[in-house]
Each structure stands twice: as structure tokens, then as C-alpha cells.
Structure 1
């Protein structure tokens, strides 16, 4: 019986000791490393390369990145096979950061998303980023980055989106980008990229959006680009392309919705290749030197029903005639101002006064005009479209921009846009309000502010809970809202959280491993500890059995009772258990 008591106490002691050892390692903050130490060092080095005047990254100097909720560091909710947590995402958008991007970023070897958009970061894009083979989103827009694009980025096998627009990148597009077999979005507009578009890009099987407008690209237009099977938007305006022809192959792009070559140096006769593009909604060749006749078959086959419209912008060329019918379907707009053909005063439907960016949708009006203002103090406000009168709540505000829409007048698409966005966000229709008049910006981009309100449950619920804030924000910032062709790609310039949501902001930008995952890790640790202590206890007992002196069972029990403190808190090291 005493032997059994001894065995039980050893088990209890072993379990308690191993659990304490493992849990102190797991939850011990800086003293118990949980995040891969290589990644921790890389994060520290990255921070040292940045200038952080608002002290947004002040908590990067304490604790463990994944366990202590470092700002903008999001980690996987699981321990990897190497026994560590790893960084999944850096979400550092709109934090007023400057400085440079450290090459040590490549040591975040599990990272899927790098987002430093809309800061003031300068210097080159480190070639070492090309070593992060897990990277899906490379989001560097709206900084002050210079230098050329590294060849190494072309070897990221999982990259879905590269956004480097609105920087100061120069030099050519690397031919290695032809290896990006999973990339769907090239957003490189508004830089100083020069040279020829590499024909090798035609091998990209998944590319949907090719945005290279407002650069210094030149030379001829590669006919091979038509070989990209899924291409929808080709935006090459405001460059220096020249040549007498637009490749005939461009008339064989079945998914093309927008083709923009405005403000280049194209000459020669107008190509008759655009009649066989059933999805085309915007064709822009304005401000070139194209001459000859315009074939009316571009618009003759258009149906007048449905929401698909066609805008053909050929202003300021040298076009002299229309070959074919002058009859325009009601869903087709053709702009020919600034061409010799407009000397014919009978072509008002083609040459009349038309604003490129037609009337914008007006701001939403508050339907609750009879409600008392003082009962809804800021930042609370009445939900404009709520079915419940005078329901006031605090919205999420999104500074949102359509980067390459296929229209010039937003009004016919307002309802479709609201339906599209609320369905993608899994919201009710009244939860979305277009809060300001959408405004056209340089480069045919449409900016607007969106307000997203909580759903009405009862009159006591006026706020989103934290998980819903994180869900909605994640859909925007991770580009998980699937594009609709007519609206093209979007971007989030800012995601504004008013005071009641500041805690949610801390949670989202400092999101570490979840509580559920922590519980799982703890339970797994304890289970492992129990198993380990049982094995250790068994081995100790076997060793003791072999080495203990021959004595009566009663004498041994009395000795062990004296030398062991129950509860497993202490074992005297002069016990026969530890003697030779």
C-alpha cells in the first residue's frame, strides 16, 4: 500500500512540475519565447528601419509578438511543427510611418500578407522579399518607394496581388514577372516605370487586371498580351506608347471589359478590331493621333436592355468619318469632340457637349428628418435607410475608391453597387450608406466614403461587437470582397473607427493568437505533461526497485513517508531514490 502511495505522489509531483515548466514557457511572455526567435529578431530589425512619430509600434519592445499583441502583427492560430508560432500578416496601413523596408523582412518566412500602404516609406523594395514564398498579398501602395522592381519578386509562387501604385518606382518591368502564375492583379500605376512591356507577360494564366497607367512606358504594344485568357482590364493611359497600329489580336479578348490607351502617341488609322468584344464596357483612345473612319460595328450589336453599357471615348484625335450606321443604341455613348468629324454640325449625339465624368450620385439624405437631433449625440447618428424610425448607431467609415471602373456616370449603377457590396459583406441593405458624393479623381478613379451601420436588433444595440468590426475590416483589407467586372478593382484608403470602436481597433491591429487556440495549446501541453510525468515516474520507480537495499516493506514505507513531502513540492536529494 505504501508503495502505491509513493507511486501516486511521484505522479502528482511529476505532473505538477512538468505542467508548471511547460506553461511557464508557454505563457511567460518575454521569458518564455513562443514566436519563432528568428522572426522576433526580424521584427525588431524592421522596426529599427522605420520612423514612427506617432509611436504606433511602441509595444514592439516588450513581450512576445504573437502573445503580447504587437500592433499590426497577426499570427497563425496554431503552433507549427517546429514548436513556434509564426507571423501570418503585417497590417501597418495608414500609420504615418517613414524610413525604409528592412531586408530582414524575408525572415518572416511564413508570412502571407505584407501591408504597409499609405505611409511615407522610402528607399528601395528589398530584393529579399522575393524569398517569402508564402506571400499572397504584397501591398506597398501610396508610399515614396524608389528604385527599380526587383527581379526576385517574380519568383513568388503564391502571389495573388502586387500593388505598388502611387510610388516613385522607376526602371523596367522585370521579365521574371512572367513566372507569377497565380497573380491576378498587377497594380503598378502612377510610378515612373519605363521601357517596353515584356511580351513574356502573355504567359500569365490568371491575370485579370493590368494597371500600368501614368508611367513612362514606351515602345510598341506587344500583340502577345491578347494570349492572357482571363484579362479583363488593360489600363495603359498616360504613357508614351507609339506606333501606327493597335495589334489586331486585341480584338480576341473575350473577357475584356475596359481598354484604355488614352494620352499616348498612337497614330495611323483607327483599328476595326473592337466589334467582337462582348464584355467591353469602356473603350478609351482619346488624345492620340488616330485617323480615318470609325466602324459603327463597335456599337451596332449592343442590346439596349440590361445594365451593360458601352462608352467609346475617342476625343481629340484626327478621325474624319463614321463608316456604317449613325444610330446609337440607348446604352451606348460615343465621344468624338476634338476630331475633324465634328465639323459636321448634324452629329450632336457624337459631338455634343459631354462631361467625361458625368453627374455624380448625390449624398444620401436622412430619411429620419422628424427625429430629435439631441437624442442621437455624436458619434452616434441616425441610420438613413433604417426601417425602424430614429434608430441611431455608430458607423464604421471606409475611405473607398474604385480604381478602374468601366463607366463614367455612377448614377445608373448605384443600386447595383449597393447590392454588390452588401451581399459581399453579408449585410442588410439598410446597413450601407454612401455618405458623400462620389468624386472622380485623376486617372478615372472614383472615390467615396462609405458608412456601415450595425444591424437593428432592439433599441439597446447601437454598436458593432468587436468580432464583427474585425470581420468587416478583414474583408476589406485582405481583399476578400470579390470584384464585379463593371466596378473593377477597389482599394481602401482608410478604415476609420470612431471612439466607441477604439478597443476593436487595438484588437484588430494587434491581433495575436486566439483564446480558443491558447486553450487548445494549454490542454495539449497539460496532456503531454501528464503523459511525460507518468513515464518519468515509472522509470524512477523501476530504477529505485533495482537499486534499493534489501529491507522490509514496512521499513521502506516509513523512510519514504519521512523523506517525501506530500503534494510533490519537494524531494530530498539524499533520498535513496537519488543515491547510487
Structure 2
């Protein structure tokens, strides 16, 4: 069987070679010119784009270029996706990108690009995913991006973008995800964004926003996550109308210079995570909260009065942080389940000798404010059969076949706005979520490691192993590699408010996936897109 596999790969490699040599012009000439301009303005030290120097983009399988399978009425094929995730590219984006008139995905995530975002991208009316996060882009967000009526996801986070949010973004009538966090965006959040009836996630934390929180956001019917931490809404309060956000799962307004009292939010039945810490909020704690909530952080404010009895009767609660306020008493007994963390340090209540066992909640938490939770799995020890002594093959820990040896796909993955503060209790739930989304068995996924980052965001490294079947294949074939990558890179995971939005950090083909399979991978990837388009 091994000689047949070798022969098959030789055939595909030979086909790739022949295709690469063709001079046939089947791609729209204006798009070919645009791609050549893209390459001219990029610095490619790893030579990832060397295939762009020969042949035709659609015929010769240029790296990161995926085309439609059918010829348009103009007689040409057109570029469907431009995916250049984490290729060590620097330089800048060329205005000629706007000539890729039928593009659906534009992905330059996790490179070193600088300069500004070309306004001409706003001409790509077909665009659904605009993914520019994790670069060094600067300047203003172009008003013209508001022309992208089919855009589902805009990710420009973790750049150096400045200037205001364009009011024209109110025209993004299909958008579900606006991720603009970790930039230098300034000014007032346009209240016109309340027109975005499909918006699910609005991430604007770690910017220089000011002004007020738009009360009009209460009109966003699909909003699940509103994350605005580390901005300066000086003198602004939390609008009472936010209690009308019936689908909201996470409200995070940490360190936003907010004043006034905490509005009634108990009508938000889906709320899982509430962080209003490090503000200037005053008055009493709300008397009623939410049965589903896992995390409440109201620390470092000016809250006073009593802790309501309802706080000790929240079935899903994991963490309640009320430190550094002016709380003086508690209604009811302090009997919390073992899995609940209560922090009261810095309140007058900690000096009340009449409250039994109160001191245990007033002591500093080990590790400070940051959650020390992390996990690193060690390799499984097996001596029943041999496994190649390199870093690319390993034993599958939960395999139904004892000491099954295989080469995993290694994936960098990060939850950008999870609705929980501790991950360990939810690891099994997360593993089921991922494997079901990928149509895999649970033993095929291993969380190699995870740890919390500033945000808080949860970074992890996943390993995906091939299934155990009658063949007992030790590695994925190229078609399956592409299928898995498509799901991650195109955000085909079903929405999950608890885990929140994710980002793909890397999908690097190493070892057996990075040698002879490399050509097969892109060849079969193109063929798969042709079949599905």
C-alpha cells in the first residue's frame, strides 16, 4: 500500500509541475495585475510567494490564491480568496487590491504589514471576511469600508490604527463581528452603529475612545458581546437602556472612567459575564442578578451599602470580586460552594468581627489579580510499539487503539472574549464543541496547552489527530487538511456565546505535512474549492 501512496503523490506532484509550467491565461487580467502589485509591495523573506513568479494564478495554484471553478461571462476565472495568514510578510497593502472585484475572503492576519488600509478595498462589494488583525497598520479607518454591504466580519484589531470610527460603518448591513480592539482609535463611538441589526460582537477595548456610551445600542437586537475595556468615557454612566439587550452574554466595561450607579440588568436572562471594575461607580449593589452568570467583577469602585442575599444564591457563579469598595454589611450567611471565589478585601465589611468566617474572603489572592490557571500536557509514555523519534509523530492519548501513533495537525488558537474566568471546569465542554464542529471523535483533539493573556483572552495550542479506522492512517490526507483549515479560517464554527469569538493564530504544516504534501495540499485545496463553489 505504501508504494501506491508514493505513486499517487508522485502523480499529483507531476501534475502540479506541469500546471506550474503552463502559460495559459485563464485568470482575469486586471486581477493578475492586482496580484502582481500586491507582491511588488510586500517583503517576503521566507519566499512563501515564490510561486507568484510563474504561470497563471488560478491555473498554477499560487500560494494563498483560491479561484472560482467556473468561467464568468467575461471568459475568465476570478479570484475567490486571498489567504496569507502568518507568512512573515512586511511591506504595505496596495490600492490595487480593490481590483479583486469578486473576492470573498481577504486575509493578511499575523504578518508585519505597515502603512494604511487602502480605501479601494471598499470597492470589493462581494467581500465577506476582511481579516487584517495582528499587523502594524496605522492611519485612519477608511470611510469607504462602510460600502461593504456583504461584509460578515471585520478584524483590524492589534494594529496601530488611529482616528475615529467612521459613521459610514452603520451601512455594514450584514456585519456580525466588529473587532477593532487594541488600537489607538479615538473619539466618540458613533451612535449610528445601532442600525447594525445583525451585529453580534463589538470589541473596542484598549483604544482611546471618549465621549459617552451610546444609549442607542439598546436597539441592537442580536448583540451578544459588548467589550469596551480600557477607554475613557469620562463623566459617562451606563445607560439604563442596556437592560433591554436581551441576548447579551458578556458586558465588559473595565477601566472606562464610568460614573453613576449600576443600572438594573436582571432582565438580561442570558448574561454570563459582567465586568465593571476600575471605574467610579457608586451607590448600592443591584438587589437582583442573573441565574446564568459565571463572573461578576465590580472591584475598585465606590459602591456602598450591603451585599444582597441574592449574591449567595447564583447557581452558575464561579467568581465574585467586590474588592476595594465601601461595602459595610452582608445580608444572609456567607455559605458559598467550594468552586466559587469571593473577594472582599478593601471593604469595611472585612473589619466586622460580628460576621463569622469573613476574613477568609478578605485575604489577598495568591498570584495577584491575574488568573494563574494554565495547563501543559505531557506526552504519553508507551512502550508497546515504536513511534518515530521526532517532534512530528506521537502517541494519541485517548485513542481507542492502545498506543496509536500519528502525526497531529498543530493549531494556534485564542478565545478573544470568553464569558468565563476559569477554563478548567469547561474543558470537556470546549472539547465537545470543537470536535462536533469539525465532525471528529473526541479522542482526536488534544489541548496541548492553554494560558490566560491580558484582556483577558485565552490562548491555547491544539493538536488534531487522524481518526482510528480500518486503515489506521497515521496522518491526514491533503483533502482533510484543507477541510479542517477551511473551517478554522472561514469561521464555520457554530456561534457560541459562552466561548465567544476566536482567532486562528497559526495553522502551520510541519513535518510530513510540510514536505511532499505541500504541493498536493494546494493542488487538492484548489480542486476542493472548485467542487464546492
The interval holding the TM-score normalised by the smaller chain is 0.7 to 0.9
Partners of 1:512 and 1:472 in 2: CA distance: 11
Q: Does 1:440 align with 2:452?
A: yes
| Ranges in structure 1 where 5+ consecutive residues have no aligned partner | 1-25, 303-307, 519-580
In the TM superposition, what are the counterparts of 1:133-172 in structure 2 within 5 Å? 133-172=125-164
Q: What is the deviation of 1:291?
A: 1.4
| 2:58 corresponds to which of 54, 66, 71 | 66
| 1:316 corresponds to which of 267, 286, 300 | 300
- 8 Å CA contact 2:188–2:211 kept in 1: the answer is yes
What CA deviation, in whole Å up to 9, does each residue of 1:498-539 have, x standing for no partner?
211114444545777529969xxxxxxxxxxxxxxxxxxxxx
Partners of 2:238 and 2:250 in 1: CA distance: 15
**SS of alignment partner, residue 493 of structure 1:** strand
Partners of 2:472 and 2:223 in 1: CA distance: 48
Q: What is the deviation of 1:289?
A: 1.1
Query: Relative to structure 1, is the Cα distance of residues 505 and 352 closer, same or farther in structure 2, using a 3 angstrom cutoff?
Result: farther
The corresponding residue for 1:457 is 469
What CA deviation, in whole Å up to 9, does each residue of 1:85-135 have, x standing for no partner?
110001111111111101001111011000001001110100000000000
The corresponding residue for 2:333 is none
The corresponding residue for 2:229 is 237
**SS of alignment partner, residue 415 of structure 1:** helix
Q: What is the deviation of 1:271?
A: 1.9
Partners of 1:372 and 1:202 in 2: CA distance: 61
Query: Relative to structure 1, is the Cα distance of residues 468 and 28 closer, same or farther in structure 2, using a 3 angstrom cutoff?
Result: closer
Greater relative CO (CA pairs within 8 A, separation 6+): 1
Query: Relative to structure 1, is the Cα distance of residues 39 and 288 closer, same or farther in structure 2, using a 3 angstrom cutoff?
Result: same
Query: Relative to structure 1, is the Cα distance of residues 28 and 283 closer, same or farther in structure 2, using a 3 angstrom cutoff?
Result: closer
| 2:412 corresponds to which of 399, 407, 411 | 399
The corresponding residue for 1:21 is none
Partners of 1:222 and 1:487 in 2: CA distance: 26
The corresponding residue for 2:14 is none
In the TM superposition, what are the counterparts of 1:164-183 in structure 2 within 5 Å? 164-183=156-175
Query: Relative to structure 1, is the Cα distance of residues 365 and 27 closer, same or farther in structure 2, using a 3 angstrom cutoff?
Result: closer
TM-score using structure 1 length: 0.79
| 2:271 corresponds to which of 260, 272, 280 | 280
In the TM superposition, what are the counterparts of 1:244-393 in structure 2 within 5 Å? 244-268=236-260, 270-299=261-290, 302=291, 308-322=292-306, 324-325=308-309, 327-332=312-317, 333-341=319-327, 342-345=347-350, 346=355, 347=358, 351=362, 353-354=364-365, 357-358=370-371, 360=373, 362-364=375-377, 366=379, 368-371=380-383, 374-378=386-390, 379-393=392-406
TM-score using structure 2 length: 0.86
- 8 Å CA contact 1:336–1:350 kept in 2: the answer is no
Query: Relative to structure 1, is the Cα distance of residues 187 and 244 closer, same or farther in structure 2, using a 3 angstrom cutoff?
Result: closer
- 8 Å CA contact 1:74–1:510 kept in 2: the answer is no
Partners of 2:83 and 2:20 in 1: CA distance: 25
Partners of 2:305 and 2:486 in 1: CA distance: 51
| 1:419 corresponds to which of 409, 414, 432 | 432
Query: Relative to structure 1, is the Cα distance of residues 352 and 458 closer, same or farther in structure 2, using a 3 angstrom cutoff?
Result: farther
What CA deviation, in whole Å up to 9, does each residue of 1:126-158 have, x standing for no partner?
000000000000000000101000000001111
The corresponding residue for 2:13 is none
- 8 Å CA contact 2:213–2:236 kept in 1: the answer is no
Q: How many residues align?
A: 483
- 8 Å CA contact 1:165–1:187 kept in 2: the answer is yes
Which of the pair has more CA radius of gyration? 1
**SS of alignment partner, residue 25 of structure 2:** coil
**SS of alignment partner, residue 468 of structure 1:** helix
The corresponding residue for 2:498 is 486
Q: Does 1:118 align with 2:102?
A: no
Q: What is the deviation of 1:374?
A: 5.0
Partners of 1:414 and 1:517 in 2: CA distance: 37
**SS of alignment partner, residue 135 of structure 1:** coil
Query: Relative to structure 1, is the Cα distance of residues 421 and 242 closer, same or farther in structure 2, using a 3 angstrom cutoff?
Result: same
The corresponding residue for 2:208 is 216
Partners of 2:438 and 2:465 in 1: CA distance: 12
- 8 Å CA contact 1:168–1:191 kept in 2: the answer is yes
Moved more, 400-409 or 58-67: 58-67
Partners of 1:349 and 1:172 in 2: CA distance: 46
| 2:101 corresponds to which of 101, 109, 112 | 109
Partners of 2:526 and 2:446 in 1: CA distance: 33
Moved more, 487-496 or 27-36: 27-36
